[in-house]
Amino acid sequence: MATYDMTSSGTATVGANSIAVLPSMKHGEAVRKIEAYLDFGKLVLDSGYTLATGDVFQLLEIPAGTIVLNAGAEVMTAFDGTATVDIDFAGGDDIVDGFNVTSVGFAAAGTNGQTNTIVGAAASTYTQFVSTTDTIDVTLASSNATVGVLRVYAHVMDCNEHGTVVVDVDRDQLA
């Protein structure tokens, strides 16, 4: 079992270090979607990694003072062999639990909420306030896969103070 920091350029196939800040806001919008891709083909074939059950990939960096409203995953390219993943903070399975990634599509809900849904048949139970910088991790629950692409996303709200909102043009100011 190994841990791969997919937010650090020290990990093969990662082009640059991630910094614990959300994408810039436009017009004071506080909610945004962030996403990252986990490409087994690049890790295994291009970099020579040998993946094993229990490996953890720290994929989405969430800054302190942020609420994760919901999160989920989509298989973009089916994984070969057999493979299931768990997704959560600290390598758990609360966001996605035992998702089979051998066919394309969106992951089912985990043990702590409704993936891809803010309000469904019942109100979503998945919200997580992140008080110190953390990562959303993908853990290989089982795998002998060597190729496949998984997209992990989260809708997040920055609860930190932003100061003044920048006005793009004069017409947007009140007289």
Instruction: Decide if 97 contacts 112 (C-beta within 8 A).
Output: no
Could you tell me which residues are beta bridge partners of residue 90?
A: none
Residues 95-127 have pLDDT tens digits of 888 888 999 998 876 665 555 554 444 444 456
What distance in Å separates the CA atoms of residue 148 and residue 165, rounded to the nearest whole number?
Answer: 41
Best CA proximity match to 79, nearest among 47, 58, 107, 59: 107
How does pLDDT run across 51-80, given as a tens digit for each residue?
788 889 999 998 888 888 888 899 999 998
Round to whole Å and give the CA distance between 163 and 113. Answer: 33
Which amino acid, 1?
M
pLDDT bin (cut points 50, 70, 90) of residue 130 is confident
Burial (0-12, 13-18, 19+ Cβ within 10 Å), 102: middle
How far, in Å, CA of 95 to CA of 107, rounded?
10
Which tokens sit at 132?
């110190």
Q: Say what the pLDDT of residue 123 is.
A: 45
The pLDDT, as a whole number, for residue 76 is: 95
Could you tell me the residue ranges of all domains in the chain? 3-12+30-160
User: Mean pLDDT, to the nearest integer, of 8-23?
Assistant: 62
* Backbone φ, ψ for residue 97 (5° rounding): -125, 110
Beta bridge partners of 60: 136
d(CA 113, CA 127): 8
CB–CB of 95/112 below 8 Å? yes
